[in-house]
Amino acid sequence: DIQMTQSPSSLSASVGDRVTITCRASQDIRNYLAWFQQKPGKAPKSLIYAASSLQSGVPSKFSGSGSGTDFTLTISSLQPEDFATYYCQQYNSYPRTFGQGTKVEIK
Amino acid sequence: EVQLVQSGAEVKKPGESLKISCKGSGYSFSNYWIGWVRQMPGKGLEWMGIIYPGDSDTRYSPSFQGQVTISADKSISTAYLQWSSLKASDTAMYYCARQPSYGGNVDYWGQGTLVTVSS
């Protein structure tokens, strides 16, 4: 199975901050990488696919980059509604695997 | 509007059986894969398996193979996740999610079904 490792596991940030989350795959996954946002008590929401393509309706403050084994999710200007846990997932091969999550908290 | 609506919360005893559901609407249910994801209390997301309702082609994560059964009834646009003998460790939130192709990514998620297994 492909291991996905996110860093950091949690971070504290202020409204307006630029935030970057990293996801590393244990082997080359080309650009088959998705990002999801999960708020407490809610289902995950799809944000990004193919490493850098925004899902329909997702605001442009979210951006993704990377290919191969190293990927990033950036939130350009953190807003109160962005405080959540973010997960990466590889879909290069089965079984699909997720990162352990990064919790973005209010400073 | 694409929607995946899951069945309600369940409370079961160890050893009991259970089948939870995920009903799709707003798209051609038969032509999209449906996956299942587990989230244990306070933990991350785990991919369990996937089914293509059009022909019931099913794949499982090795971690869940033999522990659960995934099925679908395309006539009523519904996918299922079932257990024959629940354990306390099956206590979790379970999500279904739509995937446009076998090699593709998830785009829509169900709202989740909380399964609690306790004596």
B32-87 pLDDT, tens digit per residue, is 999 999 999 999 999 999 999 999 999 999 999 999 999 999 999 999 999 999 99
* Mutation for testing the B interface, residue in A5, A36, A96, A97 having most B CBs under 10 Å: A96
Expressed in angstroms, the distance from the first to the final Cα of chain B is 40
Rounded (to 5) percent helix, strand, coil in chain A? 5, 50, 50
Instruction: Pinpoint the alpha helices (H) of B12-112.
Output: none
Distance from the Cα of residue B119 to its chain's centroid: 24
What residue of B is the nearest CA neighbor of A97? Answer: B47
Among B44, B63, B105, whose Cβ lies nearest the Cβ of A49?
B105
CA distance A65 to chain B (A): 16
Chain A hits for B105, CB-CB cut-off 8 Å, are 32, 34, 46, 49-50, 89, 91
Taking only the tens place, the pLDDT of each residue in A3-49 is 999 999 999 999 999 999 999 999 999 999 999 999 999 999 999 99
Asked, as a colleague might, if the bond just before B62 is cis with ω within 30 of 0, I would say no
Percentage, residues of chain B above pLDDT 70? 100
Amino acid at B109: W
Contact A96 B47 (CB under 8 A): yes
Partners of A78 in the β-ladder: none
Residue A107 has pLDDT above 90, yes or no: no
Q: Which residues of B touch A (CB under 8 A)?
A: 35, 37, 44-47, 50, 59-63, 95, 97, 103-112
Residue B95 has pLDDT above 90, yes or no: yes
> Which DSSP symbol is given to A68?
T
Asked if B111 lies within 8 A of A91 by C-beta distance, the reply is: no
Spatial separation of the C-alpha atoms in residues A90 and A35, rounded to whole Å: 9
- The whole-number pLDDT of residue B11 equals 98
CB B98 within 8 A of CB A55: no
Partner-chain contact B44 A95, CB within 8 Å = no
Report the mean per-residue pLDDT for chain A: 97
Provide, as residue numbers in chain A, all residues whose Cβ is less than 8 Å from the Cβ of B59. Answer: 94
Neighbouring CB atoms inside 10 A of B43's CB total: 12
Contact A96 B109 (CB under 8 A): no
User: Mean pLDDT across chain B, nearest whole number?
Assistant: 97
- Cβ pair A89:B103 closer than 8 A: no
